[in-house]
Amino acid sequence: MPYVQLYYHLVWATKNRTPLLTTEVEPVIHGYIRSKAVGLGATVYALNGVADNVHLVAAIPPSTAVAKFVGQVKGVASTRFNKVGSNGGPFSWQAEYGAFSFDQKRLPNYVGYVVNQKEHHSDRHIIPALERTEDLQVAAEPGESYAVEATDWWREMLDWPGTASGDGGAR
């Protein structure tokens, strides 16, 4: 068996960014996401979000393409939820998603960021690059250093290309 360390920060939003993940709906949807992810052989390190988006930090098996993994996790969560029935109408996701890979050394940083999603959004202290679900078009990694401290990591992520232009990067 090959030895791999494939860590991903995945983010996707509800269709039209509708705030469907209410306090009643969120645990159900998150349960479906976690169950499907584990069923696909992933290790889930963190799962959280706000009313209109989900963040997942996971290790995905190398035999599973990221796009297939995200599609199946999203599809199962919305399909199962809609089969059970809800008073708020059908639940659906936008087609896009964001996928960010990172190394084991930074796993605690990404887990901490996801665990604290609600706080980050409520005080508007987010990392725009990690909130995007559409193409960021980054040509190359910025900088030559490899920041390991949490504050350096946070600063490095905020300076990621495409996010320093003042538009906030998140949509």
Q: What is the pLDDT tens value at each position of the chain, 171 positions in all? A: 678 889 999 999 999 999 999 999 999 999 999 999 999 999 999 999 999 999 999 999 999 999 999 999 999 999 999 988 665 568 999 999 999 999 999 999 999 989 988 888 778 777 777 776 665 554 445 555 555 667 777 777 777 655 544 444 443
Helix (H) or strand (E) segment spanning residue 44: strand 43-50
CA distance 34 to 37: 5
The answer to whether position 26 is within a domain reads yes
CA distance 61 to 69: 9
Residues in Cβ contact with 96 at an 8 Å cutoff, skipping those fewer than 6 apart? 12, 13, 133, 134
The answer to whether position 166 is within a domain reads no
Outline where the chain has alpha helix (H).
26-39, 66-84, 107-115, 117-122, 150-158
The answer to whether position 90 is within a domain reads yes
- Say which DSSP state 160 is in: S
Encoded tokens for 129: 């690059």
Domain that holds residue 118: 7-158
pLDDT in tens, 52-77: 999 999 999 999 999 999 999 999 99
The answer to whether position 35 is within a domain reads yes
Look up the CATH number of the domain holding residue 15: 3.30.70.1290
Angle, helix 26-39 to helix 66-84, in steps of 10 degrees:
140
CA distance 9 to 93: 17
Given its phi and psi angles, is residue 169 left (phi above 0), alpha (psi -120 to 50 degrees) or beta? left
Q: What is the domain count for the chain?
A: 1
